[in-house]
Amino acid sequence: MKEKLLKTPILEEKISIPATIGQLFWYVLWQADRPLRWQFIAKAVVAVIGASLVMLKSYQLKVILDSFVAAQAKENISCQDFVIPVVIYISCLVFAKLIIVLRGWIRIFSVPGYYRVILRSFLNHTLGHSSHFFQSNLSGAVSSKLFSLVNSFHQISNLCFTSFISLAINFVYIFIFMILIHPTMGIFFILWFLFFIGFVVPKLAKRLYDKASDYSAANANISGFVTDVLGNNDVVRSFGRQQEEMALFSVHQDSTIDKQVDLQKYALKAFSIQNFTLLVSEVIVLLLLVYGFKQQWVSAGDFVLIVTILINFLNQAGQLVRQLADMIEQFGNCRDAIETLSQPHEITDLAQAEDLEVKTGSIEFENVNFHYPSGYRVFENLSVKIEPGQKVGLVGFSGAGKTTFTRLILRQFEIQQGKILIDNQPINEITQDSLRAQIALIPQDPSLFQRSLMENIRYGRLDATDEEVMEAAQKACCHEFIAEMPEGYQTLVGERGIKLSGGQRQRIAIARAMLRNVPILILDEATSSLDSITEQTIQRDLKKIIQGKTAIVIAHRLSTLSFMDRIIVFQEGKIVEDGSSNELLSKNGHFAYLYKSQSNGLLPREEKPLLNLSQEEQPCLADA
């Protein structure tokens, strides 16, 4: 897995992601990383050949029947009169079977192509969104729309090639045959087709589209509801709210079912109308043929040919209407998915953006203004500088702006005014990937992948050896509990690391950051789920690791800030105090108030060995 990840080329988004279904088809055909134009061309060619064989077969049946009737009238039946048309007829049958096989082979290669092109492109685009996008859209719903998009696209393209192209080709052949053989029948056919396509189909399609769109939206809504409930199953069980959630689900489900029934009722009505139209058409055609045969301007072969091709065409047209509801539903799914997934990125790199080069690790805010998309203002004219290699603690009540401060450094949100500089380089003028490649973040609530512990830790540096991964795990005090697991470092951790405790997840996240070995380190309540003894042990290793690095540490537990060079105190988006812990305590201000509010306060400046053991002998004790 490690070698495969390192060898896999990075997918770069060089063109705009499609924003409509028409653009999506054009993108898949011509613009994608590996376009499927030849598969589509092959599908179209096969569809043309298949429809042509059907028409040629029907025409040869007419020739055979006319020859038979003529020979019978002369009472001189010779096999030679039937050899060529029979051979052509049989050849058409054989080639028609081969076309079915060929169509299957094309399908084998084209369907995976849809998945590859659409999923890779849209997933790559989705991962480029800012934090605001993922705060506004459930991850489960986004995932569902990704797969809904590719499945709906496949069904739409399949209907286009199996129904629409075949119907269009048949129409052309029938028009030619009718005009050349029997202009009267040709005129009737054209008038009927114009009436059916120009009046019946649009009338039915408009209402079907509206009802299918309503059902698609309701279906997406209930899917999002289920995703939300399952994602918060612990909360549901903890509060004993299963019955209440089921009641809410019933409301959503009833609404969805009502719209589904409404769609199916109208679809049945539409099918009844089109079936009646086709029935009338078939009866009129049959009566005209009988009349023409009686008047001797329709031969037996003409009768068979027209009945065969025309009724086949009418049945195809009827089938197309029956498929219309499903196709409209797939269009609705595609449209809904594209509207969500193709949203433009809120944060983009400049065309001339360069990679960040960190030599010292200084961070500076210059008159920064920032408010969230909701309008909530956090910072106004915020200016502060963190010197290279400085260890800075951020303190303040919840909502004071500490986490927002670090997220702006990572450019997870875009500031409205001012500058944020790293080593005097404005972060909006450098590439986002190079910026984040120089920063290691240990969040308060770390999430892990549903992968092995080895892969989760190695995510910090993909080219790390197993020995380096284990060394990082030892420094983060997680080697012991990993070694006790049945599969050790190959143990799968479950969705978002659910199989581990909160403290274990945090230690894995710390090991991942330690392995990353970058010049800037951000810890957002990184040890909040650890017991105090394990926290002290990890802090000892952290102090070694962050030597020579710029470190920003957010903490409510003030003991975490015992070895900071500087503490910045936030209150309502403003820096109200800034200095060393002793300086701030002597001021008896906001920081002193926070300090006095905690029973532990800051750890002593002199370290004392834990449990009377030397530093080398102090183990990583209890799991959090």
How remote is the C-alpha of 170 from its chain's centroid? Answer: 38
* pLDDT, tens digit (0-9, with 9 covering 90-100), for 437-457: 888 888 777 778 888 889 988
Q: Residue 261's closest CA among 225, 218, 198, 303? A: 218
Both 119 and 187 in one domain: the answer is yes
- Percent of the chain exceeding pLDDT 90 equals 5
Domain of residue 598, residue span: 356-438+521-526+550-603
Could you report the per-residue pLDDT of 565-586, keeping only the tens digit for each? 899 999 888 899 898 888 888 8
Give yes or no: residues 124 and 177 share one domain: yes
| 385, 413: one domain | yes
Decide if 477 is inside a domain.
no
Same domain for 366 and 253?
no
Write down the mean pLDDT value for the chain. 78
Q: How far apart are CA 230 and CA 240, in angstroms?
A: 14
Structure tokens at 2: 């490690």
Confidence (pLDDT) at 383: 92
Pair (172, 250) in one structural domain: yes
In a domain, 456, yes or no: no
Q: Indicate the Cα dihedral angle 418, 423, 426, 432, nearest 10°.
A: -130
Residue 511 counted as domain residue: no
Burial bucket for residue 476 (CB in 10 Å: 0-12, 13-18, 19+): buried
User: CATH number of the domain that 385 lies in?
Assistant: 3.40.50.300
In a domain, 464, yes or no: no
User: How far is CA 590 from each of CA 557, 595, 601, rounded to the nearest angstrom?
Assistant: 15, 9, 14
pLDDT band at 73 (very low <50, low <70, confident <90, very high): low
Question: Do both 268 and 396 map to the same domain?
Answer: no
Q: For residue 95, give the 3-state DSSP assignment.
A: helix
Of the three residues 315, 341, 367, the one that is the final residue of a domain is 341
Q: What are the phi and psi torsion angles at 454 (to 5°)? A: -60, -45
Same domain, 283 and 421: no
Regarding whether 112 and 176 lie in a shared domain, the answer is yes
| pLDDT(275) > 90 | no
Band (81; pLDDT cuts 50, 70, 90): low
pLDDT at 236 over 90: no
- Under 8 Å between Cβ of 444 and 365: no
Shared domain for 368 and 300, answered yes or no, is no
pLDDT digits (tens, 9 = 90+) for 93-135: 888 888 888 888 887 777 777 778 888 888 888 887 777 777 6
Q: How many domains does the chain have?
A: 2
In the chain, what is the straight-line distance between the N-terminal and C-terminal CA atoms, in Å?
Answer: 30
409 in any annotated domain: yes
Higher pLDDT pick, 78 / 359: 359
Per-residue pLDDT at 36 exceeds 70 = yes
Q: Is residue 228 part of a domain?
A: yes
| Number of other CB atoms surrounding residue 599 within 10 Å | 5
Residue at 28 is within a domain: yes
* pLDDT tens figures, 157-183: 877 777 777 777 777 777 777 777 777
Asked whether residue 126 falls in the same domain as residue 24, the answer is yes
Name the amino acid, one letter, at 20.
T
Whether 499 maps to a domain, the answer reads no
The H or E element spanning position 417 is strand 417-422
Count CB atoms within 10 A of the CB of residue 343: 16
CB atoms closer than 10 angstroms to residue 270 = 21
User: Has residue 347 got a pLDDT over 70?
Assistant: yes
Phi-psi region of 401 (alpha: psi -120 to 50; beta: other; left: phi over 0): left
Burial of 175 from C-beta contacts in 10 A (0-12 / 13-18 / 19+)? middle
Whether the pLDDT of residue 601 is over 50: the answer is no
pLDDT tens-digit readout, 278-318: 777 778 777 877 877 777 777 777 777 777 777 777 777 76
